[in-house]
Chains A and B, each alone.
Chain A
Amino acid sequence: MSERTAYSEYHPRWLRRRPSTYWWLERRAYLAFITRELSSIFIAWFVVYLLLLVRAVSQGDASYHQFLVWSRHPVVLVLNVVTLLFVVFHAVTWFNLAPKAMVVHLGRKRLPAALISASNYGAWVVVTAFVLWLML
């Protein structure tokens, strides 16, 4: 994309400043961004945890029970609570982004952004309620 600029004797000394190593502390949005990037490791863990659960279930009662015992271990518990917080953070970011990415028309009218956000959050609540109903 970027062409190399041809230097001539008339502009030989442009000052190029690299961003500071701590640029991500300069603004809240930068910090939120870098937190999202780093927390993707936890999101990956969530996926691994889910796969382990599926494997345990597929291997029968004893294996599933063992998985539950392992899940109650304080380290796993803390890890999963932290992961849940990050997953919620990602979900909220995603739902707030949705009306920016999706422009929905109804006839000639453009649906308001708040409605698109609200429908995402609404779907989230419904799915959560369904999962809770299944579990409890």
Chain B
Amino acid sequence: MADKITMQVTRYRPEEESGVTVQEYEVPFTKDWVVLDGLNYIKDRLDGSLSYRWSCRMGVCGSCGMTVNGEPKLTCETFLSEYGAGPVRVEPLRNFPVIRDLVVEIGDFMRKLVAVKPWIIRDQEKPLSEGEYLQTPDELDEYRQYSMCINCMLCYSACPIYGLEPGFIGPAAIALAQRYNLDSRDQGSDERLDVLSEHDGIWGCTFVGECTEVCPKHVDPAGAIQRYKLTAALENLKSFVIPKSAR
């Protein structure tokens, strides 16, 4: 096993250049190092000017998503050894504007996330004296998978629709809307329907399916979207055949 591996890191320094450049660094190659360890080594020992996001180092915070050898990955759980002798190419997440080096601008996703109201909505909150909103394990299982989303945006990076049509609300936002729609304690699905069923909502998805493939938490956003398409279509049908008062 070689003791060094080459990392090719995309740099974008708007104050110095108008486009991107690729910079090569040699980092120690050990079996237990992930791509993020390599980047931290570069930052600490070789080039302090390199910018990237990271926080927890354990696949929970969703900050360190980058494109590694062309694939959207969480760099904290992608081992350098997966790439053999290298080189390992690290680029910013695709489909997002780049602020600097490997740091992308995530405001668009944040606005879309809020638009689907990813929180429990009640018609009327019951008084505290009545206790908690109870839920059975079966009811929990209905949405548990979608609640695993860590907002890492790898799915947006893998989605060609989002790349071509940036208005598309995107996989994670829809999966998180479903996380609350399917929660037995929630009563807000009608409020989410308008945003989700508009042109840039679920109908923008043409089932490429890569969002599910790259999801590090096995949320299956593609599944969430297809499931919601059926729900929205039925709601639409209901609105035609059932009078509003009877719904």
Contact = CB atoms under 8 A, between A and B. Distances in A.
A14 B111 contact: no
Interface residues of B, number: 41
A30 to B, nearest CB: 6
Contacts, number: 78
Contacts of B169: 1
B213 interface: yes
Interface in A25-73: 26-27, 29-30, 33, 36-37
A26 B71 CA distance: 10
A124 to B, nearest CB: 19
Nearest to A97: B226
Contacts of A102: 227, 230
Interface in A11-35: 11-17, 19, 23-24, 26-27, 29-30, 33
Contacts of A30: 160, 208, 210
A33 B164 CA distance: 14
Contacts of A108: 138
B108 A97 contact: no
A101 B167 contact: no
A2 B163 contact: no
A95 to B, nearest CB: 12
Give the size category of A's interface with B.
Answer: 20 to 34
Contact of A23 (B18, B160, B167, B206): B160
A19 B115 contact: no
| Contact residues of A: prevailing secondary structure | loop
Nearest to A27: B210
Interface string A91-107: 00100010011110000
A106 to B, nearest CB: 13
B200 A1 contact: yes
Contacts of B168: 1
Interface of B: 12, 14, 18-20, 70, 94-95, 97-99, 105, 107-108, 111-112, 115, 138, 141, 160, 163-164, 166-169, 198, 200, 206-210, 213, 220, 222-223, 226-227, 229-230
